């Protein structure tokens, strides 16, 4: 189900024009996604709400920083949410990192969704992540959820930096293939 980029273009124009109904629409469409993501990274309710608020206030305040011709708004919001959530993790300090790191690199639980987010997408992403070979999943989830650089990934896992880079690249490439095969990946 490729997203309709024309929708993003229209919504973006309305945001630029200062139409706050467009922001409400964006919030209604993607807040679950953004909040889920922030919750997954921070595992903290207050932090996840702060991140969600930051992401949508930022979209409203600086709509010109998003370019609908370069990517889907959904993806842009997710990247943004992730980066804010990682910032929060870093601010919170290193003492908690070890504990959450273990939780983050475990394969995602195969729980049943009850949310309003497109369940098929959630399922596809979960399965694609679960299908990665363990060493690749470990590397990519460390980098994704913990905001580790490839050097830190190499150190954490006791592997050469070149191997860390290769695992990250190969893991993402496989994910992209899976999502593409399901028609999810934006082109």
Partner 1 sequence: MVAHTDISDMLGAWALDGCDDTEAAAVRAHLRECADCAAQARRLRSAVGWLGTDRVEPAPAELRRSVLAAARARRPPAAWVTLTNAYADQVALLDAALADMSPVDWRRADSRHGDVRGMVGHLASNDALLAAELDLPAVPMPTTDDGRAMRVAWRTQAEAMLAGIAKADPGRTVRLAGPGQRPVRTLRDALVQRAFETWTHRDDIGAIRTIPPPEQIQRIVELAVALLPAALRVSDPAHADRAWRLVLQGSGGGDWTVPAGAARVEVTIGTDAVDFARLAANRRQPRTLPHTVHGDQELAEAILRVAATLGCD
Minimum distance from CB of 135 to partner 1 (Å)?
Answer: 13
Task: State which residue, 92 or 122, has the beta carbon closest to partner 1.
Answer: 122
Minimum distance from CB of 99 to partner 1 (Å)?
Answer: 19
- Spell 65-93 as b/e; 16+ CB within 10 A means b: ebebeeebbbebbbebbbebbbebbeeee
Minimum distance from CB of 65 to partner 1 (Å)?
Answer: 13
Q: How many CB atoms lie within 10 A of CB 64?
A: 9
Minimum distance from CB of 95 to partner 1 (Å)?
Answer: 22
d(CA 172, CA 169) in angstroms, rounded, equals 5
**Do 42 and 90 contact (CB within 8 A), yes or no?**
no
For residue 11, which of 51, 81, 61, 59 has the smallest C-alpha distance? Answer: 59
Task: State which residue, 3 or 99, has the beta carbon closest to partner 1.
Answer: 3
Task: State which residue, 83 or 100, has the beta carbon closest to partner 1.
Answer: 83
Minimum distance from CB of 88 to partner 1 (Å)?
Answer: 14
Which structure tokens are listed for 164? 């860390």
Task: State which residue, 96 or 115, has the beta carbon closest to partner 1.
Answer: 115
Cα 91-58-186 angle, rounded to 5 deg: 100
Task: State which residue, 98 or 177, has the beta carbon closest to partner 1.
Answer: 177
């Amino acid at each position: 189900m490729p997203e309709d980029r024309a929708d993003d273009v229209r919504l973006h124009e309305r945001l630029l024009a200062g139409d706050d109904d467009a922001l409400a629409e964006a919030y209604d469409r993607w807040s679950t996604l953004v909040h889920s993501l922030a919750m997954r990274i921070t595992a903290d309710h207050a932090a996840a709400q702060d991140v969600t608020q930051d992401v949508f206030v930022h979209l409203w305040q600086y709509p010109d920083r998003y370019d609908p011709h370069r990517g889907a708004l959904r993806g842009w919001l997710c990247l943004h949410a992730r980066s804010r959530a990682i910032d929060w993790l870093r601010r919170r300090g290193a003492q908690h990192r070890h504990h959450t790191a273990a939780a983050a690199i475990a394969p995602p639980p195969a729980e049943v969704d009850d949310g309003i987010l497109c369940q098929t997408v959630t399922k596809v992403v979960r399965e694609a992540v679960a299908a990665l070979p363990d060493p690749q999943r470990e590397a990519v989830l460390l980098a994704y959820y913990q905001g580790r650089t490839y050097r830190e990934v190499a150190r954490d896992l006791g592997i050469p930096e070149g191997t860390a880079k290769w695992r990250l690249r190969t893991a993402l490439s496989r994910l992209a293939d899976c999502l593409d095969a399901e028609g999810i990946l934006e082109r």
